[in-house]
């Protein structure tokens, strides 16, 4: 029988233990997931609504920094301090790389992410307008 090989996962949890990430708990995975989705959706809207390239770049930069800070915070809560210190330069590098590789077209409808190993993008692939 295949079903017999399933691990009895529930038996491992000690009865009466308080699990912060249990369903209904303060860090319910569903709530965290919804909060993360709202954060991404809100940030995308905030950046997308900018009317000029300079404003879009400013908003994109702000959103990238806030995302990185939130990610660093999640790491800090969940991982040992030494590991977090080792990971922080990586998070910062990702943040700067994301901002450096983002280009916005003159019509401001499109965001283009340049890849470091590809030639630079000069025109928007979607509408042909120059990107900055
Ligand atoms: Zn475009």
Domain extent listing, the chain? 25-104
Query: 120 C-alpha vs ligand 1 centroid, how far in Å?
Result: 15
How confident is the prediction along the chain (132 residues), in pLDDT tens digits per residue? 455 555 544 445 555 555 666 666 667 788 888 988 999 999 999 998 999 999 999 999 999 999 999 999 988 988 899 999 999 999 999 999 999 999 999 888 898 999 889 999 999 999 999 998
Q: Does the pTM exceed 0.75?
A: no
Query: 127 C-alpha vs ligand 1 centroid, how far in Å?
Result: 4
Q: What is the C-alpha to C-alpha distance for residues 130 and 101, in angstroms, rounded to an integer?
A: 15
**What are residue 113's phi and psi, to 5 degrees?**
-100, 120
């Amino acid at each position: 029988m295949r079903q017999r090989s399933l691990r009895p996962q529930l038996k491992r949890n000690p009865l009466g233990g308080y699990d912060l990430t249990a369903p209904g708990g303060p860090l319910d995975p569903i709530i965290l997931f919804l909060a993360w989705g709202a954060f991404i959706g809100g940030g995308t809207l905030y950046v997308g609504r900018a009317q000029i390239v300079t404003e879009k770049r400013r908003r994109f930069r702000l959103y990238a920094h806030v995302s990185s800070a939130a990610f660093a915070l999640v790491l800090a809560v969940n991982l040992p301090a030494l590991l977090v210190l080792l990971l922080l330069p990586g998070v910062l590098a990702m943040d700067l790389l994301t901002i450096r590789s983002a280009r916005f077209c003159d019509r401001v409808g499109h965001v283009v992410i340049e890849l470091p190993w590809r030639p630079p993008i000069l025109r928007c692939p979607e509408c042909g307008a120059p990107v900055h």
